[in-house]
Copies of this chain bind each other. A is one copy, B any other.
Amino acid sequence: MELQVDLERIKANILALAEIGRNSDDRGIYRMAFTDADMQGKRWLTEQIEAAGLESNRDGALNVSGILHGTTDLPRVLVGSHIDTVPCAGALDGTLGVVVALECLRCMKASGVQPLRTVELIAFSDEEGRFGGMFGSQSLCGQINPQMLATMSDLSGVTLHDELLRHGCEPMAALDAARDPDSIASYLELHIEQGPVLERTKKTVGIVDEITGLFTWAITLRGEANHAGTTPMDMRYDAFMGLADFAHELPRILEENGSDRSRATIGKAQITPGATNTVPGLVEFSLDVRDTSDTILDELGVAMRKALSAIARRRNLMFEFEQKSHLTPVACHQEIVDRLLRQAGRLGLDHLRMPSGAAHDAQIMGGMVPVGMIFVPSKNGQSHSPAEWTAWSDIGAGANLMLQTLIEMASE
């Protein structure tokens, strides 16, 4: 019979890690990067790796590895995710990908068959962004420099530098975490979808073909605050109505310039002065635009600027915007996508080829080596909250898909 993951071990690991950083009040998990809870999680993971008879390692960026040596020096296969969390997190998110990778290596080790290629479980540091995000995978890909290490700080002003020293680690050692791209054949990651698509379409797993790129803007529309009673409608410079006009244009802009993978979100808005009886003089709002094509992202950006500029002219508003972030889309490696699709079919799993709308370590890794991602369904599309959950049966299916794919990739 074909090798299979032990779902009970996955369950036990998930539930064990869920107690590390658990808050007893809100039942949320607080295992933000480089906190004591996160360091405890890293120690727990190292113990599990060693208990499975695998070699453990911790690099200068505090990425934790578990290594199953192959019979050759061929570039290795990496598999993993992250165990740090947002504040008030659920039990899965990146943790599931790490636990599944651990289980895969445990199965392969226990089967006694030594693979051709070395397979390495990796749990990346600070994916969630206490200090900016994707710190571990960026370190591994050589995207970190001394200035970043010296200046990165969290929302309360604690620097990464001091936090690493506090744990007895040398901050500059993160620079040593950079790997030779030629040493890595590929990177695989299993993650919860964090969206509603698999659940709504009743699929067990998603095979990610592209990871979305995005830009976010901070936009300001400035008009004139006036009395809501004494200012006739045609004598107003109403900044909020400018925002409403723009929001109303979003569906058209997506239809004209986007794809079915395009997303545009206005997630926050601050109205000044913000009184019931005052025409808004100023509105500052965010715009988050995503697509899996860089060309489409550019075209969406142009169309959004045109719309904002036309609305500002029409309503006599001043318009400014600042790009706050930009992430280039990353395609998963076609060969890995095909392999995952084939394995999913062979295992009889209801699956869907789909984009990832969220960013993951695979997005950073994809800039250096071929990557592939497996999604499992998120109940009600929820994540980053204690309500985050996935059926154990879906987790088992995703884990077996990862195991079979890993075995195949490690033996070629």
Contact = CB atoms under 8 A, between A and B. Distances in A.
A85 to B, nearest CB: 15
A200 interface: yes
Contact of A229 (B233, B240, B263, B274): B263
A230 B194 contact: yes
Contacts of A254: 233
Interface string A3-16: 00000000000000
Nearest to A276: B286
Nearest to A359: B229
Interface of A (DSSP majority class): mixed
A116 to B, nearest CB: 36
Interface string A347-384: 00000000011110000000000000000000001011
A265 B279 contact: yes
Nearest to A324: B276
Interface string A229-255: 111110100101101110110110010
Nearest to A218: B276
A112 interface: no
Interface string A207-219: 0000010101000
A247 B240 CA distance: 9
Contacts of A277: 216, 265, 267, 288
Contacts of A226: 195-196, 381
Nearest to A211: B229
Contacts of A196: 226, 230-232, 235
A267 B263 contact: no
Contacts of A245: 248
A358 B226 CA distance: 12
Contact of A228 (B227, B230, B243, B263): B263
A114 interface: no
A146 to B, nearest CB: 29
A260 B243 CA distance: 24
B269 A269 contact: yes
A70 to B, nearest CB: 35
Contact of A357 (B195, B231, B241, B251): B231
A343 interface: no
B381 A228 contact: no
B290 A231 contact: no
A271 B267 contact: yes
A230 B358 contact: yes
Interface-central residue, A216, A230, A238, A275, by most chain B CB under 10 Å? A230
18 contacts: A194-B229, A195-B229, A195-B231, A196-B235, A216-B277, A227-B358, A228-B290, A229-B358, A230-B357, A241-B247, A241-B266, A244-B244, A244-B266, A267-B275, A268-B275, A268-B280, A269-B271, A276-B286
